[in-house]
Amino acid sequence: MKTIILTAAAARDLDGLPAKQRQQVSDGLAEYAVSGRGDVKRLAGRDGYRLRVGRYRVVFDEDQTILAIYIGKRETTSYRRN
């Protein structure tokens, strides 16, 4: 099992989501941390990975911990924001 750490920006992003989507994203992160299952791909053109949970994306770096950098809708600036 890996540890999940949210940056301050990612925590604000998660807190800003509607309750249902917040729970889905949290569950998706937890499932990936425990079992390694989830729709995860390496990002092209930059370091890191993305986890897709419905319409939302979690951009993160991974080693022994999962450092979530950004949480947001795919339709927005998910992949352009640091």
- Tell me yes or no: is domain 3-73 CATH 3.30.2310.20: yes
pLDDT (0 to 100) of residue 79: 55
Q: Provide the residue ranges of all domains of the chain, joining segments of one domain with +.
A: 3-73
CB atoms within 10 A of CB 65: 13
Q: And the tokens for 72?
A: 């947001």
Q: If residue 51 lies in a helix (H) or strand (E), which one and from where to where?
A: strand 49-53
H helices present in the chain, as ranges: 8-15, 19-35
pTM of the predicted model as reported, rounded to 2 decimal places: 0.83
pLDDT tens digit sequence for 11-43 = 999 999 999 999 999 999 999 999 989 999 999
Q: For residues 71 and 14, is the Cβ–Cβ distance under 8 A?
A: yes
Helix (H, G, I), strand (E, B) or coil at 13: helix
